[in-house]
Amino acid sequence: MDIMNLKTTEVNHISQTPETESRYTAAQKEKLAKTSKDFESLLTSMMMKSMTQTTEGMFGEDSYGGDVLDTMFESEMATYMTKSKDLGVAKMLYKKITGEDLPSVIEKASSSNSGKALDPIEINNSGSNSKVTPSEASIKRINQYDDIINQAAEAYGVDANVIKSVIMAESAGNSKAVSGAKAKGLMQLIDSTASDMGVKNVWDPKENIFGGTKYLSGLLRQYNGDLKLALAGYNAGPANVTKYNGVPPFDETKKYITRVVGYLKHFDS
The answer on 215 and 181 residing in a single domain is yes
Report d(CA 147, CA 144) in Å as an integer: 8
Q: What's the pTM value of the predicted model, to 2 decimals?
A: 0.56
Domain boundary, last residue among 72, 89, 118 = 118
Catalytic status, residue 30: no
- pLDDT for the residue 31: 72
The answer on 199 and 106 residing in a single domain is no
Spell 30-64 as b/e; 16+ CB within 10 A means b. Answer: bebbbebbbebbeebbeebbeebeeebbebebebb
- pLDDT for the residue 56: 55
Full domain range(s) for residue 197: 136-268
The gap from C-alpha 20 to its chain's centroid, in whole angstroms, comes to: 36
Active site residue: 40, 107, 170, 207, which one? 170
- pLDDT for the residue 7: 40
- Count of domains forming the chain: 2
The answer on 97 and 169 residing in a single domain is no
Report d(CA 260, CA 262) in Å as an integer: 5
Report d(CA 146, CA 164) in Å as an integer: 9
- pLDDT for the residue 14: 38
CA angle, residues 100, 104, 110, in degrees to nearest 5: 100
More confident residue, 234 or 12: 234
More confident residue, 35 or 148: 148
pLDDT in tens, 141-159: 999 999 999 999 999 999 9
CA angle, residues 21, 22, 28, in degrees to nearest 5: 75
